[in-house]
Structure 1
């Protein structure tokens, strides 16, 4: 059995936390296992001067890390699942998904504001097409400001730029011990999460049986069912587009409840829907909801706004 594992990861504080967390999980299940990190800078980390939708590029935060796996320079990779494309490169697999962290969005305001108390014309920061669409559909008066960088950088820019607040993922804030920055945890009924939000994706080579065996104890069955439905929705909607979309599934009493939407970037139109069904049909439920959204207007939105490479709807 393999006694040394190399984890490929981005160098941001959150990515390093995630990789170290997975390393600790591996060591807890496999006494004596040596785990090291292979730290990398990705295209998404290098191009911070433009909005994500303008930068484009398939798998903006994962492409180079996946290549590291393919080349054999690392044995596993740890990603935020919401950053991953709906179709993985040949030879790679999503080997394990641990228990999901809080999938909700969070509003962080230096002055203690919430979404309901934002003044007319307030400036709100986000780099996410999905969050921009949700904010604009609820409050067309808001001015959305592009906010790039790691979590700490975005919080700092929110203060320095005098923004009313910023929308980030609760999971990242919690993992970094920054819960105190959260003014409001936004219900999923208000801000539907991105596909895979709050989930760590542990990737390895498909033919690496030893590493797959090491990762098996880290798998959470409930999280896998939920993300299977979500990623099926993303794949059917051709998730490599620069169009706001969301997909979030919950699993309870043997049933999957999947909600999703596709919207115009300016929030002027949002096509939303939901499906329920047994956990054994998780993938089919994602397909079914995608078909419903496409038939009700999502196809028109996708056609109008084109497909220029995967952009995380984080």
Structure 2
């Protein structure tokens, strides 16, 4: 329990209405309730544009902010104090006056191979149909297994699994973290090695968005921050921002801390998998969190520049057009 130094008695969390989004919001509510038992916390359930349009690949309807804009508007309108997001859905540039007040400890960031008939990606027969809504996953899978047929797959986790169970796909690829959070670990047949499928920027991490000038809320949220994971996530997002990417383009970035070094890997690929650019770099960690955060952002830019020198700009331009 943490003693509250605030006049706040109620906190409202904006959330999407999918089972996974509700789990995320309830998870943050539970953590805050343990810290502040006297704080009354409510959920404001909202349907976003990304939830409404389910028959079109995300990249074709504009990936930036599809799952967060309505939640952000609720914060602007003071109908909500915070919004809980899957960080991979959050645009690289936030609207004026809003900020990410918390980077939570990251869950497993890998991609999960899910199938009723095959144990892993290497076991799929030639020509197998694999479902994913992600161009990032598509380009890496096609690079690794050019013989596979990639078919678009939209909807919440339950909807995607039901389409697999109906025989529409031989396998589907989902986020490991999402399946674990809603108790569907048993559907995972294989966690894809990051050499096969490097994760999305921010994959597996929750972030909390709030008003930038709301000092009371920021103080309440502070204990939820994970400083080490924040460095990894800042580096990944800086890479994506420098490439002017969103959450629905074939950009992958994954950072870890090893031996007191921050190690960032990045990838950009063509959708058909014929070209997959790779770059990586490491930096030593400093003594202060502030210095490390600044250096993490610089690292993201450096790895992005390495990718641009290889031709990432042309690949991404062709996709945007």
How many residues matched?
A: 307
CA distance in 2, matches of 1:75, 1:251: 32
CA distance in 2, matches of 1:240, 1:185: 24
Query: What SS does the aligned partner of 1:23 have?
Result: helix
- Calculate the aligned-residue CA RMSD, in Å: 1.2
* 2:314 is the alignment partner of 1:300: yes
Q: Where does 1:1-314 land on structure 2 (aligned, <5 Å)?
A: 1=6, 2-240=8-246, 243-279=249-285, 280=292, 281-306=295-320
1:235-282 C-alpha deviation (Å, 9 max, x unpaired): 000014863110000013321000011111111111111010023221
TM-score normalized with structure 1 length: 0.95
- Alpha-carbon contact 1:243-1:265 (below 8 Å) kept: no
Partner of 1:310: none
Comparing 87-96 with 232-241, which one deviates more in the overlay?
Answer: 232-241
1:174-214 C-alpha deviation (Å, 9 max, x unpaired): 00000000010111121100000000010100011110011
Runs of at least 4 residues of structure 1 off by over 4 A?
none
Structure 2 runs not aligned, ≥5 long = 1-5, 286-291
Query: What SS does the aligned partner of 1:225 have?
Result: helix
How far 1:159 moved relative to its partner?
A: 1.5
TM-score normalized with structure 2 length: 0.93
Structure 1 runs not aligned, ≥5 long = 308-314
How far 1:111 moved relative to its partner?
A: 1.4
